[in-house]
């Protein structure tokens, strides 16, 4: 019986896997495990490689990613915190740590982590988007809007960023900014634009 495909894999956490692994073959295998959603296999592979190379941060990041995907956020946080202690410049590890904390319902802690990450990776639109998500979950919509705004400035074709910027702006009553986000979505992702349009107050679309 053919296995039905699952929902799309969120590409933002997966961006932390880019270039991980010592060889092209390892990178291809990591990508294959991710495509298959074989989180147990990915974790086993990362831990086995980590035993061979305990100082290499890549395997700790991959293990943390696998724990995040399985929903074991406590272990993801532990693994990624160790990576950052050894390699504080690893923006992918910072991003995964912040997202793990947010998914563990610790949005305030996640925002602190991602604020620190933003000083490491000023050009990472992923960092600023995840920071926006953390601030949104913590109820700080003004800070969320600022972070989403920076994410789409860094990556103007990032439709999901425009959508969240528009949605947060509507909740704050900033309809001009929301309309500008909607204009972008109509060009980049009309389906998302339709969803955002429905969130405008009646008569204000």
81 lies in some domain: yes
Say yes or no: 68 and 97 in one domain: yes
Question: For position 141, which CATH number holds?
Answer: 1.25.40.10
Say yes or no: 95 and 127 in one domain: no
153 lies in some domain: yes
Tell me if 16 sits within 8 A of 92, measured CB to CB: yes
DSSP symbol at 37: T
Q: How far is CA 166 from the centre of its chain?
A: 18
112 lies in some domain: no
pLDDT at 9: 75
Say yes or no: 26 and 73 in one domain: yes
Confidence band of 204 (pLDDT split at 50, 70, 90): low
Flag whether pLDDT at 131 surpasses 90. Answer: yes
**In the listed set 40, 73, 104, which residue is the last one of a domain according to the structure?**
104
The residue range of the domain holding 55 is: 10-104
Mean pLDDT calculated for residue range 9-27: 89
User: What residues contact residue 197 under an 8 Å CB cut-off, 6+ apart?
Assistant: 182, 205
Chain mean pLDDT for the chain: 92
113 lies in some domain: no
Domain count, the chain: 2
Residue 32, number of CB atoms within 10 A of its CB: 12
3 lies in some domain: no
Mean pLDDT calculated for residue range 81-99: 95
Residue 204, number of CB atoms within 10 A of its CB: 10
* Cα–Cα distance, 118 to 154 (Å, whole number): 12
Report the range of poorest mean pLDDT among 4-18, 171-185, 187-201: 4-18
* Cα–Cα distance, 22 to 55 (Å, whole number): 13
Q: Which of 69, 93, 83 is nearest to 7 (CA)?
A: 69
Model pLDDT for residues 167-193, shown as the tens digit of each residue = 999 999 999 999 999 999 999 999 999
171 lies in some domain: yes
* Cα–Cα distance, 116 to 188 (Å, whole number): 30
Report residue 65: phi and psi, to 5°: -60, -45
117 lies in some domain: no
The secondary structure of 11-32 as a DSSP string is: HHHHGGGTT-SSSHHHHHHHHH
88 lies in some domain: yes
Say yes or no: 99 and 126 in one domain: no
């Amino acid at each position: 019986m053919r296995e039905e495909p699952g929902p799309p894999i969120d590409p933002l956490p997966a961006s932390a896997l880019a270039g991980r692994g010592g060889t092209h073959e390892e990178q291809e295998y990591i990508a294959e495990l991710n495509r298959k959603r074989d989180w147990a296999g990915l974790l086993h592979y990362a831990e086995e490689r980590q035993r061979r190379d305990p100082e290499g941060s890549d395997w700790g990041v991959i293990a943390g990613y696998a724990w995040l995907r399985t929903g074991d956020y406590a272990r993801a946080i532990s693994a990624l915190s160790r990576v950052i202690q050894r390699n504080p410049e690893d923006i992918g590890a910072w991003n995964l740590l912040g997202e793990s904390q947010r998914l563990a319902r610790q949005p305030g802690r996640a925002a602190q982590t991602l604020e620190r990450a933003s000083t490491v990776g000023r050009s990472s639109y992923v960092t600023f988007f995840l920071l926006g998500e953390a601030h949104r979950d913590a109820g700080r919509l003004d800070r969320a809007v600022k972070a989403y705004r920076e994410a789409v400035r860094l990556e103007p074709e990032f439709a999901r960023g425009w959508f969240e910027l528009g949605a947060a702006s509507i909740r704050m009553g900033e309809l001009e900014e929301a309309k500008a986000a909607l204009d972008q979505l109509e060009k980049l992702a009309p389906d998302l634009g339709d969803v955002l349009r429905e969130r405008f107050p009646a008569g204000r679309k």
